[in-house]
Amino acid sequence: MNVDAALDPEMRARLLPDNRLDGAANVLVFANADAASGVRNILKQKAGGLEVGPILMGMGNRAHVITPGITARGLLNMAAIAGTPVAHYG
Amino acid sequence: MADSNKENLRQAALAYHEFPKPGKLEIRATKPLANGRDLARAYSPGVAEACLEILADPATASRYTARANLVAVVTNGTAVLGLGDIGALAAKPVMEGKAVLFKKFAGIDCFDIELNERDPERLADIVCALEPSFGAINLEDIKAPDCFIVERICRERMNIPVFHDDQHGTAIVVGAAATNALHVAGKSFREIKVVSTGGGAAGIACLNLLLKLGVRRENVWLCDIHGLVHEGRETDMTPQKAAFAQKTDLRTLDQVIDGADLFLGLSGPDVLTPEQVARMARRPIVFALANPEPEIMPDAARAAAPDAIIATGRSDFPNQVNNVLCFPFIFRGALDVGATEINDAMQIACVEGIAELARATTSAEAATIYKGEQLTFGADYLIPKPFDPRLSGIVSFAVAQAAMETGVATRPIEDLAAYKRNLDASVYRSALVMRPVFEAAATASRRIVFAEGEDERVLRAAQAILEETTDTPILIGRPEVITSRCERLGLQIRPERDFNIVNPESDPRYRDYWGTYHDIMKRRGVSPDLARAVMRTNSTVIGAVMVHRNEADSLICGTFGEFRWHLKHVTRCWAAKRSIPWSAVADHPRGRPALHRRHPCARPPQPRGTRRDRHRRGAPCAPLRHRAQGRALLAVAVRQPGQRFGQTRARGGRDPRRAAARFRL
């Protein structure tokens, strides 16, 4: 569905009256990385969001590709994520 | 020229105060008031419940009102810094500014109160009557000696902290600066000779705090505008000054300055001469804090005594003694435990917290704001910068603890560790989210290789990793560049001693690395020459090969460069291991593991022979594959040569799905 339907319960109720979802989405899954990256950057720059990541899934926690906008604190957070043994997940 | 600059500054300052909205603060509601139901709760009749609770137990006011986080800045405008007795109304811009500083640095709600009352005892009555409204009072810009009277009366009668920042805030920051200066000079409070000029509210408070820190009363020589304060003097004496009267025949500053270890000036300009500085002790400490012109300019003092340790109140010289390092954080600590006063123990805790922070490593955040300045502990960095994000966690925490230990806390905190985390979290916004990750990371010690090891952020992160986690950073970069950058940034870590380096230009493992890379990539057309060249230049690939060879556990790359470029190099190194599942960012659907046989959202397999069976078992359904590759399904309306416009479904059925498959979208 569109992002505004995911985030606005009333609009979603109008378009999808039978949907079983409650409230606003807190996880958005995008079909491609460009869309997700654009949304991420806008949230960071315009909505004052703080990014933790970007976290690369599927590499067995053996690599993370970060973006040039990261701060030293962000690198420390990524190191903490990279430093967690995979067995810990799940 | 100077005049037009001044005029520009003046206009800019006035515009700042007036536009877009007059003044520097406003009040905002914190609860929703969107409908009738909210109104019934916030106001009549629901509010009566809150009132009745407070009537029954006044302590509940901290739960049902904003009082516990509300401070009043109170003045009568009789001693506004730099301007003197300008009266209450004219003092309002300064007080608004103070209120804003409380909010910005410590999240404390604050409003300014200007009172038209010059008599100190009546002023104290008014302030005492304000007790129900506020969690604490900050007295500001009230002239000496009235301020001593007001503060004493208010502290006696009120059950909330009353703090005269001009006195005690200055004293605390001076105390921290002195603590660190003595550290640098290798002396102790007990042995030093202190000469001070001024004798006003701030001066007296500083001297009193220095006594509490260990300076001996007989070693303090106080001078004011009339000369040395001595026994038997009657001109312009106050009880506060008389406490420092020396029994001596010496009468002037010039006569007592010999051999002084610490000069503390809170008076006016041109009070101390370079020649007098030269007569002070070895490694003299000169705190020339008069504003805007200090008692002696730092350059002149430095010329007379090159080993002097100097602080002023000005921001254009190192070691600015700025009250903002103290008052937001001491109030934060006091309010959080509901302290009934700010006592000596809390003030000393504040002094020690600030001093300790200056001795710790600079944080990346402070360094970003104060770019270009050398922020390592030393003679030119005795006290932290006001924007250091760690001030709250260290100073407020120490003050809260001191309040609880001395029994003045009405709401003692049980979980101190959680309180510290909250203070830090209000500064590092990711702290709360990341806490479980840091705890999980602490269960293992992994080797993390950073591809761009020369980057300033990576170096800071490496220091933080060594200090805060159990992981080992490995940096890819040139040793000489990394060493010089670490020095420039004031970091304590050094390559080879604290962390390992991989030098792309010359590393003993080079043969092994390019050999491995060639093994991985030879079937894709990478020759040994190319492998050698790549291993000398592409630090992402170096890192990926290290992880491949199990010489590191995890790679972090991408502090500069394009995301997909890095990802391509990383995945290509590991593609042979068949561990890369299908993802939305992959360039090719190669190496899809058997796991993802069916897309989780796909409908369950239909019985054989139906339309849906067209999907090959094992492939994600076609529309999803297209979207995942970033192409739109609309691309299938392709016009074939010879077709008339609008006739996409020509004979033979140009089914959109078949067209897509045909063009391998």
Distance from the A39 Cα atom to the nearest Cα atom in chain B, whole angstroms: 16
Residue A67 CA to residue B557 CA, distance in Å, equals 8
Contact across the interface for A77 and B437, Cβ inside 8 Å: yes
The answer to whether domain B168-317 has CATH 3.40.50.720 is yes
Contact by Cβ (8 Å): B388, B363 = yes
pLDDT > 70: percent of chain B: 83
Q: Which residue has the higher pLDDT, B571 or B367?
A: B571
Most confident of B173-177, B292-296, B317-321: B173-177
pLDDT value for B365: 62
Considering only CA atoms, which of A59, A61, A58, A79 is closest in space to residue A70? Answer: A79
Using CB atoms, which residue from B471, B558, B579 is nearest to A60?
B579
Write down the pLDDT at residue B497. 86
**Nearest Cβ partner for A83 among B433, B441, B450:** B441
User: What is the Cα–Cα distance from A85 to A81, expressed in whole angstroms?
Assistant: 9
Q: B555: exposed, middle or buried (C-beta count within 10 Å: 0-12, 13-18, 19+)?
A: buried
Contact B434 A80 (CB under 8 A): yes
- Residue with token string 């914190």: B30
Cis ω before A54 (30° cut-off from 0): yes
B106-131: average pLDDT: 95
CB contact under 8 A, B556 and A64: yes
For residue range B650-661, what is the model confidence (pLDDT) as tens digits? 444 445 555 545
Q: Say if CB B261 and CB B193 are below 8 A apart.
A: yes
What pLDDT sits at residue B108? 93
Do the Cβ atoms of A34 and B627 come closer than 8 Å? no
The rounded Cα B374 to chain-centroid distance in angstroms is 17
Task: List CB contacts (< 8 A) between A55 and chain B.
Answer: none
State how far the Cα of B406 lies from the Cα of B409, in Å rounded to an integer. Answer: 8
| Cross-chain CB nearest to B563 (options A57, A65, A76) | A65
Least confident of B31-35, B256-260, B285-289, B505-509: B31-35
Confidence at residue B602, expressed as pLDDT on a 0 to 100 scale: 52
pLDDT band, very low/low/confident/very high, at B489 (cuts 50, 70, 90): confident
- Residue B288 β-bridge partners: B265, B312
Q: What is the Cα–Cα distance from B520 to B526, expressed in whole angstroms?
A: 9
Residue spans of alpha helices (H) in chain A: 3-7, 9-15, 33-46, 72-82
Contact criterion met (CB below 8 Å) for B80 and B90: yes
* Closest-CA residue of chain B to A70: B559
DSSP state of B396: I
Q: Give residue limits of the domains in chain B.
A: 66-160, 168-317, 325-427, 444-577, 617-662
Cα separation, B660 vs B655, whole angstroms: 9
Contacts of B546 (CB under 8 A, 6+ apart): B449, B474, B502, B513, B552, B555
Longest Cα–Cα distance of chain B, Å, equals 120
Res B591: pLDDT: 41
Higher pLDDT, B598 or B540: B540
3-class DSSP state of B213: helix
Q: Which of B24, B31, B92, B98 is catalytic?
A: B98
Interface contact A82-B554, CB threshold 8 A: yes
Contact between B574 and B565 (Cβ < 8 Å) = no
pLDDT digit string (tens) for B52-90? Answer: 999 999 999 999 999 999 999 999 999 998 788 999 999
Distance from the A54 Cα atom to the nearest Cα atom in chain B, whole angstroms: 10
CB B345 within 8 A of CB B166: no
CATH 3.40.50.10950, domain B444-577, yes or no: yes
CB neighbours of residue B661 within 10 Å: 13
Predicted confidence band of residue B369 (pLDDT cuts 50, 70, 90): low
Residue B96 sits at φ, ψ, to 5 deg, of -60, -40
For an interface test with A, give the residue of B448, B460, B625 to mutate (most A CBs within 10 A): B448
Contact residues, chain B, for A66 at CB < 8 Å: 556-559
The pLDDT value given to residue B637: 37
Kindly give, in sequence order, each residue whose CB lies less than 8 Å from that of residue B500, ignoring residues fewer than 6 positions away. B472, B474, B475
Contacts of A32 in chain B (CB under 8 A): 584-585, 627-630
Mark residue B341 as left, alpha or beta (left: phi above 0; alpha: psi -120 to 50; beta: remaining). beta
Higher-pLDDT residue of B659 and B151 is: B151
pLDDT confidence bin for B583, thresholds 50/70/90: very low
Which fold is adopted by the domain B66-160? Rossmann fold (3.40.50)
Structure tokens at B208: 């009193």
Report CA torsion sign: B369, B372, B376, B377.
negative
Interstrand relation of B227-228 and B220-224 (parallel, antiparallel or unpaired): antiparallel
pLDDT tens per residue across span B587-645: 444 444 444 445 555 555 555 555 544 544 544 444 444 444 443 333 333 444 554 44
**Catalytic annotation present for B21:** no
ipTM over 0.90? The verdict is no
Segment B417-440 shows an average pLDDT of: 77
Whether B444-577 and B66-160 are alike in CATH topology: the answer is: yes
| Residues A65, B448: C-beta atoms closer than 8 Å | no
Cis before A17 (ω within 30): no
| Cβ-contact B114, B89 below 8 angstroms | yes
Cα–chain center distance at B657:
57
**Domain spanning B325-427: CATH 3.40.50.720:** yes
Helix residue spans in B237-336 (DSSP H) = 239-242, 253-256, 274-278, 298-304, 327-336
Question: Which tokens sit at B40?
Answer: 């019934």
Segment B99-128 shows an average pLDDT of 94
- Give pLDDT, residue B633: 36
How many of the other CB atoms lie within 10 Å of CB of B506?
A: 9
